[in-house]
Structure 1
Amino acid sequence: MDIIGTVLWPIKWVVELILVAFHWLFTNVGMDTAGGLTWVLSIVGLTVVIRAALIPIFVKQIKNQRRMLEVAPQLKKIQEKYKGKKDQFSREAMSRETMALYKETGTNPLSSCLPLLLQMPIFFSLFSVLNDAQKGKAGVGPLDAHLGQLFAHAQLFGSPLHQSFSGAMNHLPHQQTGVMVIAAIMVVLMTGSQFFTQLQIVSKNMSAETKASPQFKQQRILLYLLPFVFLFSGFAFPLGVMFYWLTSNIWTMVQQFIVIRNMPTPGSDAAKAREARLARKGKLVSESGDVVVSIEEPKKTQREQPISKARAKKQSGGNK
């Protein structure tokens, strides 16, 4: 076993345990033990469990992003202090001051990548499990040889879960059209959900200062670049892995919507909308501790213009 296999072994064992547990559950409620839908729902259950387990890390990520926004002015002062200085001494001094600021405020610029980095081994483990299952191999844990065979032959609408779009296209002499149709639909859904998730962040959850920074331009580029990554790479993954990926994307999209609505970035459009909602309900508290209440003015109706008796008589006569 290579180094990667050794690192992934415990993760694969847990992935198989959750997958087999959901398969057992759905089988015991009357679903077909060899059915593709049974295995798809098992993969969805696996995704929900994994993403739910990552919620504490996601919350920690949000809190760290808030702290990063708070220290942004101090970071800018350090950058301005050493602006234009390219000597080794200045670079080291700037690096020391930056790291000291991070340590003092308890911030970590890399924490935003942590949820994604933690998901990657799980993703590759699931890919490895499905890759072994399509060959009818037993897994490293609860996914024994019998379940491996069931998984290898599981089909959804006549399409094998272990097959990918590219594999179905090259499946000669007969191409597997069903696989290509399902894979194409899922790629579109995956790409759309990823784009909408990023669009929520860029359009609603960024302050005016962030939108004026060079980082915002990079974020805008990623908004349109990442969907293309999903678009092209998705065609190479088996349907089983794509169901995990799509479910994870939908979870991220809904989770991001809830966070932006209830924990928006200070100064963003979402934060202003939240303050307006709280003010209307009388639940907004100012920095001084006073409750802010927004009172909506009644809509003004258009005032009728007074008319002379002669004009009124003329109008009434014209209506007869």
Structure 2
Amino acid sequence: MDKNLLLAVVLSVAVYGLWFGFAEKRLAHEPERIPISGSVPQASRPEAPPTTQPARKASLLQDADKDAAELIKQADKINMDDTEALISPRGAGIVSWRDKEPLGVVELVSDPQPGFFATWPELAFKRQPQAPGIVYAARRPDGMNVVKEFLPADKNNLPRLRITLANSGAGSIETGSWSISLGPGLGTIPSEQEENQKVWRALGLLIGEKGLKGKLESFSPGEHAGAYRWVGIDNRYFLAAMLPPADFNLASNMPPSVTLTAKSQILAARESRSWEIPYYLGAKGHGWLSRYEKGLERSIDFGFFAQLGRFIMSVLTKLHGWTMNWGWSIILLTVLLQIVLFPLTFKSLKAMAAMKRLQPEITRMQQKYAKDQSKMHTELMDLYKKNGANPLGGCLPMLLQLPVFYALYNALRNAWELHGAPWIFWIKDLSAKDPYYVLPIVMGALMFFQNKMNPPSADPSQAKMMTWMPVIFTVMFLNFPSGLVLYWLTNSLVSAMQQATLKKYLA
């Protein structure tokens, strides 16, 4: 098979796969909507007789909305770093968490009942203004005191929730099993609301054995055994996670939620016991998740080439620290990659030059042995071997670009840093398509120019296909993220410059 045809087929399959994946996410039918505005999901409500079911459902929805509104009305407003939270006295749960992001404020608590981190929701907790920090306390009917402290993050450490049970009585008291949850559901930016219920999930990262990295698991409803570094819920751009203590049981449910349950124990008179639960609640930025060194960045979906995707994001983050622009960072990444691959590129160009010199002889053999394909193949292989030519030598550098292409595609789709990141002029969001299609059209024109620089194929059908490849790629790239088109455009431009510069040397 002609090397250009093979390369075209491989690239077409790869890009078609990405294109159909992108189109599927955009055009998939919307599933049955699950309420996320504070109402109780209808599937969890008992059914009423058919004659009164509509009225019964309406009544339940109104009651749920009233309960949610009452929780928020009674809550205390707390400011923590760039976050505005509302903490309800009922279980000291977080019923609102408004994350102040560069693109606006995002509400992450999609259902305030009972609220994130709520414990003993039947108890009325009171804030302790005299205590340092954010402290809530309640007293159980059996005399057990419950204290909840929201401790801020410091340097590279996560914020923590400290829960203390103290027996102030004269006799022993059983703590009973108690739970703390994240969910149900997780909020997101307005543009992702319709897709949110398709991508949100409950998940956890297992602790690896013997120095190995643990496995990331998506949870189905039920109980889960195992030692987890963290558990939580996420969607495309946001994560709510807890680092569970070793002696807690884990369960999950849908809409996505995770619940940690402590085992019952006996506290003697005047005895107390505390648990600290580090947590994260915010955007899935690869840079700031990585700094905690808890594996939280594993929640970002980089697809099949996950390791490569994380490496690319690390390099892009470092470049962004210098350029302060993600578009220029992508261009620099592409140039650096071309420098690393230059030895292979040079070898590829030599192979292409050798093939060009041999083209008359190849054509003669194809005509001479047209009726004996086996003999023609043998003679051609001997010809390539004698002259140090490789018909597939030109494919390797481009094939090595495909994993980078795929990893960058997933980074643009799922990494929060790149969402809404502008480049220059009309490119206001590198994770969205070029609104005026300038980049894909320029990319297609450059591909056409590159094809003219390569030796023509002896097969008319293959030559025709290569002529149409720039058009096909241009059409497919029209709806790709502009950051991805920028990468491929830069890659094509640098390759064309290398080819033009080395053309005389390799002639």
Which band: TM-score by shorter chain? 0.5 to 0.7
- Distance in 1 of aligned mates of 2:339 and 2:357: 28
Alpha-carbon shift at residue 103 of structure 1 (Å): 3.9
Relative to structure 1, the CA distance from residue 25 to residue 230 in structure 2 (aligned partners, 3 Å threshold; closer, same or farther) is same
Q: How does 1:162-241 map to 2 (within 5 A)?
A: 162-164=431-433, 179-181=434-436, 184-199=437-452, 201=453, 214-215=458-459, 218-219=462-463, 222-223=466-467, 225-241=468-484
Q: Which residue does the alignment assign to 1:58?
A: 345
Alpha-carbon shift at residue 80 of structure 1 (Å): 5.3
AA aligned to 1:19 is L
AA aligned to 1:243 is L
Match of 1:151 among 394, 414, 418: 418
Could you tell me whether the CA contact under 8 Å between 2:420 and 2:428 is conserved in 1? no
SS in 1 for 2:478: helix
AA aligned to 1:51 is Q
SS in 2 for 1:111: coil
AA aligned to 1:226 is M
Alpha-carbon shift at residue 236 of structure 1 (Å): 2.0
Alpha-carbon shift at residue 238 of structure 1 (Å): 0.7
Relative to structure 1, the CA distance from residue 72 to residue 159 in structure 2 (aligned partners, 3 Å threshold; closer, same or farther) is closer
AA aligned to 1:160 is D
Alpha-carbon shift at residue 188 of structure 1 (Å): 2.1
Relative to structure 1, the CA distance from residue 220 to residue 81 in structure 2 (aligned partners, 3 Å threshold; closer, same or farther) is closer
- Distance in 2 of aligned mates of 1:215 and 1:92: 18
- Distance in 2 of aligned mates of 1:74 and 1:118: 30
Alpha-carbon shift at residue 16 of structure 1 (Å): 1.8
Relative to structure 1, the CA distance from residue 158 to residue 74 in structure 2 (aligned partners, 3 Å threshold; closer, same or farther) is closer
Moved more, 55-64 or 154-163: 154-163
- Distance in 2 of aligned mates of 1:83 and 1:158: 52
- Distance in 2 of aligned mates of 1:67 and 1:116: 18
SS in 2 for 1:236: coil
Alpha-carbon shift at residue 77 of structure 1 (Å): 6.1
Alpha-carbon shift at residue 215 of structure 1 (Å): 3.7
Deviations 1:247-295 (A, max 9, x none): 12221232232233x2364xxxxxxxxxxxxxxxxxxxxxxxxxxxxxx
- Distance in 2 of aligned mates of 1:13 and 1:238: 19
Q: Which residue does the alignment assign to 1:46?
A: 333
Q: Which residue does the alignment assign to 1:126?
A: 408
Relative to structure 1, the CA distance from residue 56 to residue 190 in structure 2 (aligned partners, 3 Å threshold; closer, same or farther) is same
SS in 2 for 1:214: coil
Relative to structure 1, the CA distance from residue 163 to residue 195 in structure 2 (aligned partners, 3 Å threshold; closer, same or farther) is same
Relative to structure 1, the CA distance from residue 256 to residue 82 in structure 2 (aligned partners, 3 Å threshold; closer, same or farther) is closer
SS in 1 for 2:371: coil
Match of 2:396 among 106, 114, 118: 114
Match of 1:161 among 394, 409, 430: 430
TM-score by length of 2: 0.36
Q: Which has the higher strand share?
A: 2
Q: Which residue does the alignment assign to 1:20?
A: 317
Relative to structure 1, the CA distance from residue 124 to residue 105 in structure 2 (aligned partners, 3 Å threshold; closer, same or farther) is same
Relative to structure 1, the CA distance from residue 216 to residue 79 in structure 2 (aligned partners, 3 Å threshold; closer, same or farther) is closer
Q: How does 1:297-312 map to 2 (within 5 A)?
A: none
AA aligned to 2:471 is F
AA aligned to 1:150 is E
Deviations 1:105-127 (A, max 9, x none): 43321111112111111111110
- Distance in 2 of aligned mates of 1:83 and 1:235: 41
Alpha-carbon shift at residue 9 of structure 1 (Å): 2.9
SS in 2 for 1:112: coil
Q: Which has the higher helix share?
A: 1
AA aligned to 1:229 is I
Could you tell me whether the CA contact under 8 Å between 2:422 and 2:429 is conserved in 1? yes
- Distance in 2 of aligned mates of 1:219 and 1:227: 13
AA aligned to 2:410 is S
- Distance in 2 of aligned mates of 1:6 and 1:158: 25
Deviations 1:180-199 (A, max 9, x none): 12xx1112221222222333
Alpha-carbon shift at residue 50 of structure 1 (Å): 0.9
AA aligned to 2:490 is T
AA aligned to 1:214 is A
- The answer for unaligned runs of 5 or more in structure 2 is 1-214, 217-301
- The answer for unaligned runs of 5 or more in structure 1 is 32-37, 86-90, 134-148, 165-178, 266-320
Q: Which residue does the alignment assign to 2:500?
A: 257
Number of residue pairs matched by the alignment = 206
Could you tell me whether the CA contact under 8 Å between 2:350 and 2:506 is conserved in 1? no
- Distance in 1 of aligned mates of 2:346 and 2:427: 41
Alpha-carbon shift at residue 158 of structure 1 (Å): 7.6
Relative to structure 1, the CA distance from residue 83 to residue 52 in structure 2 (aligned partners, 3 Å threshold; closer, same or farther) is same
- Distance in 1 of aligned mates of 2:308 and 2:488: 17
Relative to structure 1, the CA distance from residue 69 to residue 192 in structure 2 (aligned partners, 3 Å threshold; closer, same or farther) is closer
- Structure with more relative contact order (C-alpha pairs < 8 Å, separation 6 or more): 1
Relative to structure 1, the CA distance from residue 159 to residue 54 in structure 2 (aligned partners, 3 Å threshold; closer, same or farther) is same
- Computed over aligned residues only, the root mean square deviation of the Cα atoms, in angstroms, reads 3.1
Alpha-carbon shift at residue 46 of structure 1 (Å): 0.7
SS in 2 for 1:155: coil
Relative to structure 1, the CA distance from residue 229 to residue 53 in structure 2 (aligned partners, 3 Å threshold; closer, same or farther) is same
